[in-house]
Structure 1
Amino acid sequence: MTGQRPSAEALSGVPWWGWTGGVLGAVYVLATVLVADRVGAAVFMGVTVTVAIVTSLAMDHFGLLGFEVHRAGLARIAGGLLMVAGIGLIAKF
């Protein structure tokens, strides 16, 4: 199947959020080129990981995109806040 393009039916069956991966990937690469040099590698990667963690907490809590609901309890919220605080410390010093 190498080199064959998907059919129109296959493409129309992709959910709306399935198309965001390419766009978000391009935005991330552009941000890496434009922002990482200014803020430093540690802050940039720390922000990347922290945003992923906080976003996944929200996705789990609300069951977004079909994920099974896992309520964000005190420990999960505290973990997310500690991640944000850690970025603040890394960026400050």
Structure 2
Amino acid sequence: MNPTLVFPILLVLLAGAMIALQAPTNVMLAKAGGSPVLAALISFAVGTASLSAVWLASGPRPGLAPFGALPWYAWVGGVYGAMYVAIAAYAAPRLGLASLITIGIAGQILMALWLDHMGALGLPRQPISTMRVVGALLVVAGVVLVRRG
């Protein structure tokens, strides 16, 4: 393995673990507040405060001018995250955490295959191949095994 990839891989592994932690903590918020949407709002408010503190402490910051040239769809990424957090807070107690995560990963891989194939949103084009489809099918098989287990 390329040694320069070890650190990013470990970071992504940690990020994945935090996604698994996020759902049950947001379930606690949803139960207390009676709403998965309120739980997502609280989660994003805390996340926004955390990111703001890190950004403010991180040295030089660009002005706002570069953002003006972005297409409208560059601005909606937070909507996807908010929807995921609210849906996870709703679905985790109904499906179980392992099912929630594996189904979510299956959805991510299917969307990633399509985005890669299309070269959408500025990504380099990576056509769908037999091996990539087999990999995606193995993830879907994993979802079935986790649900039946």
* Same fold flag (TM > 0.5): yes
Identity of aligned residues (%): 33
State the superposition RMSD in angstroms: 2.0
- Please, which moves more after superposition, 33-42 or 63-72? 63-72
TM-score by length of 2: 0.53
- Aligned partner of 2:144 in structure 1 is 88
Find the aligned partners of 1:42 and 1:30 in 2 and give their Cα distance: 17
Gaps of 5+ in 1: none
Does 2:81 correspond to 1:25? yes
Q: How does 1:39-78 map to 2 (within 5 A)?
A: 39-78=95-134
Aligned residues: 89
Please state how far the C-alpha of 1:87 moved relative to its aligned partner: 0.3
- Structure 1 segments of 4 or more deviating over 2 A? 9-14
Over 3 Å counting, the alpha-carbon distance change for 1:10 and 1:71 in structure 2 is closer
Q: Aligned with 1:76: secondary structure?
A: helix
Whichever residue aligns with residue 122 of structure 2, its letter is G
**C-alpha distance after superposition, 1:15-69 (max 9, x if no partner):** 2221221111111110121111110000101112221122111111111112111
Larger helix proportion, structure 1 or 2? Answer: 2
TM-score by length of 1: 0.81
Name the SS of the counterpart of 1:72 in structure 2. coil
Matched residue, 2:29 = none
Moved more, 81-90 or 10-19: 10-19
Q: Quick check: 14-23 or 41-50, which moved more?
A: 14-23
